[in-house]
Amino acid sequence: MRSRTGVPADTVWQQLSEQAAALQDIHLAQMFADQPDRFAQLSRRAGPLLLDLSKQRLDVRTLDLLGRLADARDLRGWINRLFAGEPINHTEQRAAMHWALRVPPQQTSPVQQQVQEQLDRMTRMVERIHARQWRGVTGEVITDVVNIGVGGSDLGPMMVCRALDDAADDRAVRTHFVSSMDGSQVSHLLHQLRPHSTLFIISSKSFTTIDTLYNAGTARAWLQRALGDDPAVIGCHFIGVSSAVDKMEQWGIPRTNQLALWDWVGGRFSLWSSIGLPIALRIGMKGFRELLAGANQMDEHFRAAPWTENVPVLMALTGVWNTNILGIHAHAVLPYDGRLKYLPAFLSQLEMESNGKSVTRDGEPVPTGTCPVLWGEVGPNAQHAFYQLLHQGTEPVTCDFIAPARRYHEVRHDAAAAELIGQHHLALANCFAQSRLLAFGEAALPPGEQLPMYMRYHGNQSSSTLLVDQLDPFSLGALLAAFEHKVFAQAVIWQINPFDQWGVEMGKQIATETLELINGGATSSSMDSSTDGLISAVAAASAAKDL
């Protein structure tokens, strides 16, 4: 396929493979020895983010070539299509306009007016709750808010709430998250809360998500047992966030308690929309708007910066290089900050649900690999878990190290600040030491006698480091938008649609049939022998318990 800008993609792939062959035998330690200014050459800044690619197994020529690959795949054109609101989610005939959620309020297209209108509604709700004037059905003040959602309606808000704990509004109420369909979270939570002062947010774009509706049903029954089944109970204790107004209505949520979103917001891109209500409840609308502003700054950077200066594009192309050229199919996300505890889970969804595809936009099988297996954990804790494999295992793994440069400068840490800053520096030291050891292997150690084999570090494991000035709403917005655009840019290179998720639909349908069998206590053979066998075992266990 010949692109608009010249060199055909196949040619560039070929050149990249040749590059890789040339670099193949050069250990990262050697690259640093050969190029003393690697950091200067291979690190970039965008707003509050510093991206250090110098510990990747590439050089500036690689980046140039990768830029040519982006051109060959017409990344510029696709970015324009994304921001023009074209229906680039072609399998669902939808646009993907999460960026429109964070455009500053001055712009007034019809879409922008809708966005601002929902933000205004959200503001009124947040203000009322923060003023301690949202009342339960008995007139009690709401003190606890429970977000019921799953996937994008859960991971995004939960991850951001946790990450921005230090930016919490003084008037913030307690927020809780419930997602798991088996009811274990909701049952645990309901034991601790008072129905009189608890408000639930049912967050579901389609308002048909079975996990969420079951959890919401359990919550509703819990409230009604304590407070009666007057419709006012739902009116006082539930807010709905969905694009399906009629379904919220049917469920009993009054208009005044509804927040809308649109089919042009994908679930995993939706924390910027009304789905972000728990975030606004945690950090206030001022903080929420700063989060949006940080993301908007990254949007503008992504649209304008040339490839070799473009942080999200460089993140994407580095990933392509590692996956497709170096053949590394595992990627670890390692934040060195406990507040980013849920970031690995969030990014697993963002990247794997978006780019875990094997069919191109033209309906052909993708000829190359796509999204690697991605997982992660708070870095210092992971050091005591799976780092062994990173350092001495047989599988190559690339890593993203993520850390804030500054921490504990907020007023609230006043008294313990000195000790906590000490702990932060300890975490940073570990972060830098681990990426160094992964890259350099034994070369990072002081010279000495030969170590026995089992104590040796082969090194040469690639990693990127993302340093954020400090973890505040603005910089977190920029960081998350950078990952969103990374995902989009990779999808363009791989020629796939990152905005659909057909792979998660079929399982839901089969589960519906299976549920009937389990509820019916079926023992007869109707599915495969494995499923039949498991269902009968459940039936036997239930019967035994009833005796």
Partner 1 sequence: MHLDVYGDTLTALVTAAALSSTGHQVTLRVPAGQVADELNADRMPYQEPGLELMLDQQQQSGRLCTGSAEDMPEDRVEGVFLALSPAAQPFAESLIDQLAARRGHSWLVVNQSNFPVGTTESLQLRLRDGADPGVDRAVICMPEMLQEGAALQSFMRPSSILVGCDSDWAEIHIREMLRPFNRLRDVMRLLRPREAEFTKLAINGMLATRLGFMNDMASLADALHVDIEQVRMGMGADPRIGEAYLYPGCGFGGMNFSRNVMSLADTLESSGVGSELLEQVLLINERQKEVLFRKLWQHYQTDLNGKTVTLWGAAFKPGTGRIDNAPALKLMEALWAQGVTVRVHDPKALPTLQALYGERADLVLCDDPYEAARGADALMLVTEWKDYWSPDYRRLHKLMAQPLLLDGRNILDPDFVRSSGFVYYGIGRQ
Cα Dmax for the chain: 79
Known catalytic residue at 508: yes
Collapse the DSSP code of 510 into the 3-class scheme (helix H, G, I; strand E, B; otherwise coil) and give the result: helix
Closest contact distance (angstroms) between CB of 285 and partner 1 is 17
Site string for partner 1, 227-256 (x = CB under 8 A): ---x-x--xx--------------------
Does 138 engage in binding with partner 1 (CB under 8 A)?
Answer: yes
Say whether 384 is catalytic: yes
Report the half-sphere exposure of 92 (CA within 13 A, side-chain side).
14
CA gap 99, 85 in Å, rounded: 10
- Pick the catalytic residue from 425, 508, 513, 516: 508
Q: Which of 351, 353, 377, 484 is catalytic?
A: 353
Binders of partner 1 among residues 252 to 281 (CB under 8 A) are none
Q: Which one of 61, 90, 124, 128 is in contact with partner 1 (CB under 8 A)?
A: 128
**Residue 413 and residue 9: Cα distance in Å, rounded?**
53
Q: Which is nearer to partner 1, 235 or 369 (CB)?
A: 235
d(CA 99, CA 107): 13
Contact criterion met (CB below 8 Å) for 237 and 198 = yes
Q: Give min distance, CB of 236 to partner 1, in A.
A: 6
Please, which residues bridge with residue 398 across strands? 331
Instruction: Select 233 or 285, whichever has its Cβ closest to partner 1.
Output: 233
Position among 74, 92, 140, 249 found at the interface with partner 1 (CB under 8 A): 140
Which residues are bridge partners to 374 per DSSP? Answer: 331
Looking only at the bridges linking them, the beta strands covering 174-178 and 398-406 are: unpaired
- At closest approach, how far in Å is the CB of 250 from partner 1? 21
Q: Which stretch binds partner 1 (CB under 8 A): 133-141, 145-153, 380-388, 512-520?
A: 133-141
Amino acid at 129: I
CB of 31 to partner 1, least distance (A): 55
Q: Give the position of tokens 């990127």.
A: 464
Neighbours of 489 (CB within 10 A): 28
Amino acid, res. 355: N
CB nearer to partner 1: give 237 or 357. Answer: 237
131 sits near partner 1 (criterion: CB under 8 A): yes
Residue 427, strand partner residues: none
CB of 140 to partner 1, least distance (A): 7
Please, which of residues 173-192 interact with partner 1 by CB under 8 A?
A: none
Nearest-approach distance from CB 138 to partner 1, in angstroms: 6
Q: Which of residues 508-547 bind partner 1 (CB under 8 A)?
A: none
Identify the residue among 27, 76, 94, 135 touching partner 1 (CB under 8 A): 135
Nearest to 313 by CA among 73, 18, 152, 87: 73
Does position 446 interact with partner 1 (CB under 8 A)? The reply is no
Say whether residue 416 binds partner 1 (CB under 8 A): no
Phi, psi for 499 (deg, rounded to 5): -100, -5
Residue 355 · residue 316 · CB < 8 Å: no
d(CA 425, CA 228): 54
Residue 63 touches partner 1, criterion: CB under 8 A? no
Task: Enter the tokens of residue 261.
Answer: 């979103």
- Residue with smaller CB distance to partner 1, 97 or 137: 137
Residue with tokens 């963002």: 350
Residue 147 or 197 having the CB closest to partner 1 = 197
- Within 8 A by CB and 6+ apart from 119, the residues are 105, 285
- 412 scored as a contact of partner 1 (CB under 8 A): no
Give the x-and-dash track for 213-232 against partner 1 (CB under 8 A): -----------------x-x
Q: Which stretch binds partner 1 (CB under 8 A): 129-137, 209-217, 363-371, 489-497?
A: 129-137
Q: Where are the beta strands (DSSP E) in 452-502?
A: 463-470
Active site residues: 353, 384, 508
Which residue ranges make up the site for partner 1 (CB under 8 A)?
128, 131, 133, 135, 137-141, 230, 232, 235-236
